[in-house]
Amino acid sequence: MEDWVLHDSHGDIQSRIFWLYGGAGAGKSALAQSLAEKFKANDLAASFFFFKADANRNDGNRLMPTLALQLLQSFPEITPFLEEKILANPDLFKKNRHSQIFELLVEPLKSLSEKEASDAQSSKPHPRLVVIDGLDECIGPDVQCDLLRAIASAIPHLPYSLCFLITSRPESHITRVFEHDLRKVARYNLSDDSDADKDIRNFLEGEFANIHHTHPLGQHLPSQWPPPNSIGSIAERSSGHFIYASTVMRFVQSPRHRPDDRLQVVLGLKEPNEKDRPFAPLDLLYSLIFLEIKDLGQLEKIHCALGIMHLRMVNRRGLFDWWQQTSDRCVIERVLELGTGDIDLLFDPLLSLVTVDNDDIRIFHKSLFDYLLDSSRSEDLALDLGLAHESAAYYVLGLKSQLSWGEYCC
C-alpha cells in the first residue's frame, strides 16, 4: 500500500484507487489509520472514516464537503477558487454527488494547476493520498455505490495524481461495482492474507511479553506464562482476523485484574464473574450485523442455515452422517426447500462473516458460533439449534416416505 501511494506514474486511471477489503474485524480500519498517520506530514491530502453508529460519520452526503474542507488545508492555494465557486452557487451542497465532487474538488484543483503552470510552479510537490475508510458503514447501499462511481468519474479529470484508498467489507453491492465498473483497481483481500495467522501469533507473543513487563502483577507471573498452547488456541480462534486476538488481549491486560485468571476465563477454564464480558467489543460487532438481518426479516432462516452448518461440523456421525460427501450448499438448499442459487441471496447480508463460493460455504470467524450459541452474549439474537434439528428431521422423514436416498443424492 505504501508503494502504491508513492508510485509516481499511476498511468492507468483506475490504478489510482486501491480497494482494501475483508471480513468484519480483519483489520481494515487499523491499516487505513496507520497509513493515514504515516503520510500525514507530507502525502495525506484528506481522509474520512465512516462509522455507522455515529450520525456525523455515517452520512454519505457529508463526504464531499468534508474532503473539500480538508483539501483547503492540503492545498491552501485553492481557497479563492473554492470560495468563488461556493459564492456563485449557494445550492452547491444540495446537488448530486457527481456534481459536488467536480465543483468542490476537480474544478478548484484544475484552476490551481493552471495558475501554477503560468507561474512556472508545476513541479511543486503536493499531497496525493485520500483515505476513505469503512465505506460499508455509510448508510444506504445505493449511496455507497454512488460515491464509488462519483470518485471514479472524477479521477481522470484531476490535475494532480490524487490516489484514493477505499476500505470496506465485501458487501455484494460494493463488490459488484468493483467487479463491473472498476475492474482494474488495485485491491487486497485481508481475509485471504496468508501471513495473518503468523502475524496474530507475533502480536499475541508481544502483548503477553508486555504484561510481564508493565502489568502491576507482571513480576509475580511464572516466567513460562502463558503456556504455548494458550497462544495457539487464541490464534486458532482468531481465524486470521485481528479483532478476536485484540479483544482477548484488552480483556487479559486489565490492570485491575489478575492476567492469569482472565486468561483462564477466555480459554473456558474458569467461570467469568457477572461483570466480566471478555468479548464485549466482538459481541457488539456481531450484534450490529445480526440486528440488520433481523430488520430485514431474515433472521430465522439464516439461523436455520447456520444451525445446519453447525450440526454438520459437530455431528460427523450423527444425523448428517450419510450427507458427509454432500456440500453445505446442497444440504441447506434441500432442507430449507430453497431454489438453486437462493442460498447466495440468503447469505448476502452476512458476507462480512461468511463467504459463499460455488458449493463452498466458509465461516470467517470460528468465534461466531461461540457468540450465537451463548444467549448471555447474543441475547435475543441467539441461535436456536432446535430450528435446524426440526427442519432436518422433517426433511429426513420426507425422504423416508418417498424414494431411496440414492435418488436424492446430489
Query: Per-residue pLDDT tens for 331-358?
Result: 888 888 888 889 999 999 998 899 888 7
Which cell is 228 given? 504455548
Instruction: Find out whether 336 and 304 touch, Cβ atoms under 8 Å.
Output: yes
Region of poorest pLDDT, from 7-21, 119-133, 235-249, 265-279: 7-21
- State yes or no: pLDDT of 119 exceeds 90: no
- State yes or no: pLDDT of 407 exceeds 70: no
> 37-56 pLDDT, tens per residue?
999 998 999 999 999 889 99
CA angle 119, 121, 125 (to 5 degrees): 155
pLDDT (average), residues 233-249: 91
Region of poorest pLDDT, from 31-35, 194-198, 207-211: 194-198
pLDDT of residue 405: 46
Which of the 8 DSSP states describes residue 137? Answer: G
Q: How far apart are CA 183 and CA 9, in angstroms?
A: 19
| Of 52, 50, 35, nearest in space to 1 by CA | 35
The alpha helices in 354-384, defined as continuous H runs, are 367-372, 375-378
| Of 223, 216, 211, 225, nearest in space to 253 by CA | 211
Amino acid identity for residue 84 in this structure: E
Q: How far apart are CA 410 and CA 405, in angstroms?
A: 10
* First-to-final CA distance of the chain: 44
CA angle 79, 82, 84 (to 5 degrees): 105
Amino acid identity for residue 301 in this structure: K
Instruction: Find out whether 234 and 208 touch, Cβ atoms under 8 Å.
Output: no
> 133-177 pLDDT, tens per residue?
999 999 999 999 999 999 999 999 998 889 999 999 999 999 999
Sign of CA dihedral 182, 185, 188, 192: positive
Return the bridge partners of 217, or none: none
Sign of CA dihedral 28, 30, 33, 34: negative
Q: What is the mean pLDDT of the chain?
A: 88
- In order of 162, 332, 344, 356, 398, the CA distances from 328 in angstroms are 45, 6, 12, 10, 19
CA 275 to chain centre: 29
- State yes or no: pLDDT of 108 exceeds 80: yes
Region of poorest pLDDT, from 67-71, 337-341, 376-380: 337-341
- pTM for this predicted structure: 0.83
Share of the chain above pLDDT 90, in %: 57
Show me where the domains of the chain are located. Answer: 2-192, 196-278, 282-407
CATH no. for 2-192: 3.40.50
- The single residue listed with the C-alpha cell 516466567 is 223
Q: Comparing 360 with 294, which gets the higher pLDDT?
A: 294
